[in-house]
Amino acid sequence: MAARTDHDERAESQPEADAEVPAPKRRRSGRIAMAVSLFGELLITVGLVLGLFVVYSLWWTNVVADREANKQGDKVRDNWAQDKGGPGALDTKDGIGFLHVPSMKNGEVLVEKGTSTDVLNDGVAGYYTDPVKAALPTTGKNGNFTLAAHRDGHGAKFHNIDKIEKGDPIVFETKDNWYVYKVFSVLPETSKYNVKVLQPVPKQSGKTKPGHYITLTTCTPVYTSEYRYIVWGELERVEKVDSDRTPPKELS
């Protein structure tokens, strides 16, 4: 038998060395799998956080706002029942009256002074003091009773504003009177900087002469604040509140 050479021994040992080459590849694959797994967990966490934020924004803020609005509304009605303040003492911290829009199917909405988020986040509607001051119907003077409320979150009192149609009633209730309006014009979209819709004579609604108007404004499209949705109504009549506070026929 021929003597084995060093070359033969190296040749026989070579396959074993080759078999060890894939090991670094396996380590790289393991690191990639771990990175993918961590990234997946991160995406799940982010998704859960976003989901909770949506629940908070569109549900929980409504719960909190409705509680606050109900508490303030009860206080207003208690003051009325106790006959606190005269007919002119309407501009109170807690509210001046209640808005009723049957086609929105959202019950009564407390109306307070101002349209800042501090006001509207309490689940109420607010009347404008800026950039154009609203004309309160209780003064009996011509003008535009301009109101705003959230469409989503924080009570979402004007969420169904798109359900309002021409001819629908809008009723504003105060301690002494029911002010019954009739919708005559709707503007589904306009710039949020369009203050002409708030003018005493809202010419974009088609009106050209002074009168007793009401204007509802809110954000649109739904879940955004890019544009404004506008509804205009005109006063048809005023009914005195009786001892039982019997609502007008439009609310029956």
Label residue 24 by pLDDT band (50, 70, 90): low
148/158 Cα distance (integer angstroms):
8
For 122-158, what is each residue's pLDDT tens digit? 999 999 999 999 999 999 999 999 999 999 998 999 9
Give me the catalytic one of 219, 230, 231, 235: 219
For 163-203, what is each residue's pLDDT tens digit? 999 999 999 999 999 999 999 999 999 999 999 999 999 99
Q: Where are the domains of the chain?
A: 57-251
Examine the pLDDT at 17 and tell me if it is beyond 50.
Answer: no
This prediction's pTM: 0.78
If DSSP states are collapsed to H, E and C, what string results for the chain? CCCCCHHHHHHHHHHHHHHCCCHHHHHHHHHHHHHHHHHHHHHHHHHHHHHHHHHHHHHHHHHHHHHHHHHHHHHHHHHHHCCCCCCCCCCCCCCCEEEECHHHCCCEEEEEECCCHHHHCCCCEEECCCCCCCCCHHHCCCEEEEEECCCCCCCCCCCCHHHCCCCCEEEEECCCEEEEEEEEEEEEEEECCCHHHHCCCCHHHCCCCCCEEEEEEEEECCCCCCEEEEEEEEEEEEEECCCCCCCCHHHC
36/40 Cα distance (integer angstroms):
6
For 32-85, what is each residue's pLDDT tens digit? 767 766 766 666 666 655 554 454 456 778 888 899 999 999 999 998 988 765
Predicted pLDDT at 31: 73
Class of domain 57-251: mainly beta
Predicted pLDDT at 83: 78
Active-site residue, 219 included? yes
